[in-house]
Amino acid sequence: MAEERLSALRKGMTVLSADEKPVGHVLEVFPYVGLVETFGEVGIPPQQEGHDPVNYAYSEAMPGVGDSYLTVREQQGSVLYVPFSAVSSADGDRATLAVDAESIPAMAWNVRPDALASREQDYPEDAGADPKKA
């Protein structure tokens, strides 16, 4: 499990790409976000504002399949939501991604995952998904 292997992740660590280029610094670590139930490709849970039962795709068969995340402040100031599965190692004061620097923009890590929708106020400059839309 990624959470066990990467328990060394912590705020302030330097983040490097797989090709050893600086990416930024860890802002926060969310190690247990991936353990919550996931709600499918579309729809939001009934207790969340904007719930539309037509688009609701919750499945009891999918608990715990989501990933956990760390937020990274890039050198140019933007925020990345990096899944634990994209971190190859975390030692001392640095974390290394499993992705080279050139590939990072294609990963869409600038989009806040639904599991962290409540962090909208903390990172207003990101491209977070609208939690009220499927």
Q: What is the pLDDT of residue 77?
A: 84
Q: What residue type is 114 in one-letter code?
A: D
Separation CA 86–CA 93 (nearest Å) = 17
Q: For the segment 75-113, what is each residue's pLDDT rounded down to a tens digit?
A: 888 899 998 889 999 999 999 999 999 999 999 898 887
CA distance 84 to 98: 10
Confidence of residue 45 (pLDDT cuts 50, 70, 90): low
CA angle, corner 111, sides to 53 and 77, nearest 5?
150
pLDDT at 74: 93
What is residue 15's predicted lDDT score, i.e. its pLDDT?
97
Pairing mode, if any, of strands 14-16 and 94-97?
parallel
16 pairs with which residues across the strands?
Answer: 22, 96
Position 127 scores a pLDDT of 62
Mean pLDDT, residues 110-123 taken together: 76
pLDDT bin (cut points 50, 70, 90) of residue 134 is very low
* Cα–Cα distance for residue pair 77/113, rounded to 1 Å: 19
Render the burial of 99-120: b for 16+ CB within 10 Å, e for the rest.
beeeebeeeebbebbbbbeebe
In three-state secondary structure terms, 28 is strand
- What is the rounded CA–CA span in Å between residue 114 and residue 19? 29
